[in-house]
Structure 1
Amino acid sequence: MTQDKPLEQRLKEKAAELGFAACGIARADSAPKAGERLRQWLADGCHGDMIWMAERAHHRVSPAALWPEVRSVVSLGMSYAPAADPLRLAGEGGVGRISVYAQGSDYHDVVKRQLKALGRWLAVEAGCDLKVFVDTAPVMEKPLAEAAGLGWQGKHTNLVSREHGSWLFLGAIYTTLDLAPDAAKVSTCGSCNACLRACPTEAFPAPYRLDARRCISYLTIEHAGPIPAEFRSAIGNRIYGCDDCLAVCPWNKFAAAAHAQIAFHPRAELTAPALSDLLQLDDAAFRQVFSGSPIKRIGRDRFVRNAAVAAGNSGDAGLAGPVQALLDDPVAVVRGAAVWALGRLDPSAWQRERIARLPTEPDEQVRAEWNAGDTIRVEPASLSA
């Protein structure tokens, strides 16, 4: 009878039934060094504009700091292993590259729905109190998943699994139960540093340490202002996130796309979207195209900014027209990206537009883009703001 099985075994069987590819248990105090590392990371400013990381750091340092009653943490992972090579579009200038995790349904919704279902089952089975979390809560999912035996934090700081490579969405259930913990995993990265070498912007100052301010995922998703000029060329045609450090992990050879949740299978229109279409999105069209996608969370303006930078890197003069149209965009961060992109695609048009627009441009940062001169140097000096 199933009731004769230990609760921990039944819990893992139920998790698998609900679509979780990995499930492990850790004591609530099993990642004591995570809080110390977080404090140092924040002190070094590596979180960039992610002010919420600092504001909730006191909750994030340990499970008990967020919920004093917690005794055990159930860590869970859902696979989103891709069927196609995430790096295959690197040389395709006319299309945008969207990170694998964002090509299907919003993982926040999918994972949380199944976490709640598992939580309800556990509450009925064991009569406990519990809380469920995906990554919108101040929870250190990766150190806890390592402690629970799901994998280990690789040199790229993400979780690596022997069975699922670098392709796991993580969630956690905090519970008042004293559950038998699983053995923690030990890193087997060895001397491999493929993930560090793959980073286009050198965002890893050292193994196991990420400077988010240099990370393309951060720059295209979390960062709201103009993308710093020093990183624009390196971004290439990445318009939402970056898979490079994950995609080169040797452990991915054991990750099977067949294990991925069907909800995360890519939508055809998001696998290789044409930049010419994306540059023309207004807010209503953006919301329609990305309905049910995590991309919707960053909003139209940030996304079109990304598409403009990718267009500037494309070498496709045919994109100069849609980029030039963005010079009339009401949003300054979009106009600024369009200025940079147009200078790379059509220098003559850039010079004409600068003469016409710089004297009346109201935004200081957009004026700075016109005056930067890193792609085009224009005379006479009377054009300066």
Structure 2
Amino acid sequence: MAQFDHQKLPAGQGGGATGAALVDKIRAWARELGFGAIGIADIHHPEAEQGLQAWLDAGYHGQMDYMAKHGMRRCRPAELVPGTRRVITARLDYWPGQDQMMDARGQLDDPQRAYVSRYALGRDYHKVLRQRLKKLAERIGQEVPHQWRVFTDSAPVAEVELATRSGLGWRGKHSLLLSREAGSYFFLGEIFTDLDLPLTDALSDHCGQCTACLDSCPTGAIVAPYQVDARRCISYLTIELHGAIPEALRPLIGNRVYGCDDCQLCCPWNRFAHPSAEEDFMPRHGLDAATLVELFGWSVETFAERMAGSPIYRIGHARWLRNLAVGLGNAATSESVVAALAARADHDDPLVREHVQWALAQHQA
């Protein structure tokens, strides 16, 4: 079971601001560290438990067995880390800027290019955000002694629920957090603390009658407002799924080889997204302009070298090739596309071979 990190304060420190004054200071320290906003959430979420259980009962989690394994602990912070009284939620922007977002549509419209979700173009956000959260927790500890533990998509934590309850935004119909000031292009992180901080107010929903995200989903994964069937979601299919991508969904994936941004690209609130100042989140190794053929030619060694420190690294070379093979199968027929696929037709991994054979068949029809 996770435990708090115990922090020892330097001599002469501690016993500082409390209550609302402390929250104001936390906000200021968070801004200094580059966070877009912070909020304070309670640890009791019975309504979220009901929603999570219904989602699991519907089988919408697919092969993500860990979702069912941890069950309601995801909605009970004090069970995950005993002693927790409050959760400090934080938002860190990753939007690479207007030029990148304008080019995103250009990439999706060019079947020869590979589309990588904007959040994954740079370095792995887990390390960046975790270190920033630790610095914030330590700075709070210099003012008031506390026990804490930080998380960022790294444990059974209901991140969007906590962020919603703490006022960082509201849950959009695509199930992601939305902010009137920052859209949805940001990462979320949490500090579990034993400080009894005053709560920040939740926000009302501002999606109104808009259904842009439901209408734009290539595979129809947003089965109803606020409900996503992961088994149809391209992010799940290209990242979480370990086996074969269902054939019926392959043509719908297009050239999306790692994740999918369609439900965010169409969202009106992303007009207000903030460009990130984080150099680590900027595109690396030409991932924002690479062709499917180019990436499909990467060897195991090249993949390991160029994807080191990237969130893409964790899916491994075989699943990377699987995703690219689907993209190549959806690409316009050309000598270079067929030659690239033929070169992998006898690949050692049966998962890669099957997807390559499917892709080749698309160009023989």
The alignment's TM-score, normalised by the length of structure 2, stands at 0.91
Decide which of 27, 37, 61 is 2:75's aligned counterpart: 61
The answer to whether the aligner puts 1:115 opposite 2:133 as a matched pair is yes
Shift of 1:260: 4.4
CA distance in structure 1 between the aligned counterparts of 2:189 and 2:293, rounded to whole angstroms:
37
The structure that has the greater radius of gyration is: 1
CA distance in structure 1 between the aligned counterparts of 2:22 and 2:279, rounded to whole angstroms:
28
Shift of 1:316: 3.2
CA distance in structure 1 between the aligned counterparts of 2:342 and 2:83, rounded to whole angstroms:
57
1:9 matched residue in structure 2: 24
1:19 matched residue in structure 2: 34
Q: What is the root-mean-square deviation of aligned Cα atoms in Å?
A: 1.4
The answer to whether the aligner puts 1:250 opposite 2:268 as a matched pair is yes
CA distance in structure 1 between the aligned counterparts of 2:248 and 2:31, rounded to whole angstroms:
45
Structure 1, 127-136 or 275-284: larger mean CA deviation = 275-284
Counterpart of 2:143 in 1: which secondary structure? helix
Decide which of 279, 283, 292 is 1:275's aligned counterpart: 292
The answer to whether the aligner puts 1:197 opposite 2:223 as a matched pair is no
Tell me, yes or no, if the aligned pair for 1:81 and 1:164 is still in contact at 8 Å. no
Report matched runs for 1:105-144 at 5 Å. Answer: 105-144=123-162
CA distance in structure 2 between the aligned counterparts of 1:316 and 1:273, rounded to whole angstroms:
18
Shift of 1:61: 2.4
Shift of 1:268: 5.3
Report matched runs for 1:165-184 at 5 Å. Answer: 165-184=183-202
Tell me, yes or no, if the aligned pair for 1:93 and 1:316 is still in contact at 8 Å. no
Decide which of 321, 324, 332 is 1:304's aligned counterpart: 321
CA distance in structure 1 between the aligned counterparts of 2:199 and 2:278, rounded to whole angstroms:
26
The alignment's TM-score, normalised by the length of structure 1, stands at 0.86
1:286 matched residue in structure 2: 303
Unaligned runs of 5+ in 2: 1-15
Tell me, yes or no, if the aligned pair for 2:116 and 2:287 is still in contact at 8 Å. yes
Residue identity in the other structure for 1:108:
H
CA distance in structure 1 between the aligned counterparts of 2:297 and 2:347, rounded to whole angstroms:
10
Shift of 1:36: 1.5
Report matched runs for 1:157-168 at 5 Å. Answer: 157-168=175-186
1:261 matched residue in structure 2: 278
2:5 matched residue in structure 1: none
Tell me, yes or no, if the aligned pair for 1:87 and 1:244 is still in contact at 8 Å. no
Tell me, yes or no, if the aligned pair for 1:195 and 1:249 is still in contact at 8 Å. yes
Residue identity in the other structure for 2:190:
A
Tell me, yes or no, if the aligned pair for 1:123 and 1:130 is still in contact at 8 Å. no
Counterpart of 1:88 in 2: which secondary structure? helix
Counterpart of 2:92 in 1: which secondary structure? strand
The superposition leaves residues 230-284 of structure 1 with CA deviations (integer Å, 9 ceiling, x where unpaired) of 1111100000000000111111111131x44232122251102121122122221
Tell me, yes or no, if the aligned pair for 2:285 and 2:306 is still in contact at 8 Å. no
The answer to whether the aligner puts 1:333 opposite 2:347 as a matched pair is no
CA distance in structure 2 between the aligned counterparts of 1:34 and 1:306, rounded to whole angstroms:
33
2:333 matched residue in structure 1: 316
Counterpart of 1:156 in 2: which secondary structure? coil
CA distance in structure 2 between the aligned counterparts of 1:243 and 1:152, rounded to whole angstroms:
18
Residue identity in the other structure for 1:203:
A
CA distance in structure 1 between the aligned counterparts of 2:215 and 2:176, rounded to whole angstroms:
15
Counterpart of 1:131 in 2: which secondary structure? strand
CA distance in structure 2 between the aligned counterparts of 1:28 and 1:202, rounded to whole angstroms:
33
Counterpart of 1:64 in 2: which secondary structure? helix
CA distance in structure 1 between the aligned counterparts of 2:23 and 2:274, rounded to whole angstroms:
26
Q: Percent identity between the aligned chains?
A: 43
1:75 matched residue in structure 2: 89
CA 1:33–1:260 in structure 2 vs 1: closer, same or farther (change >3 Å)? farther
CA distance in structure 2 between the aligned counterparts of 1:119 and 1:88, rounded to whole angstroms:
41
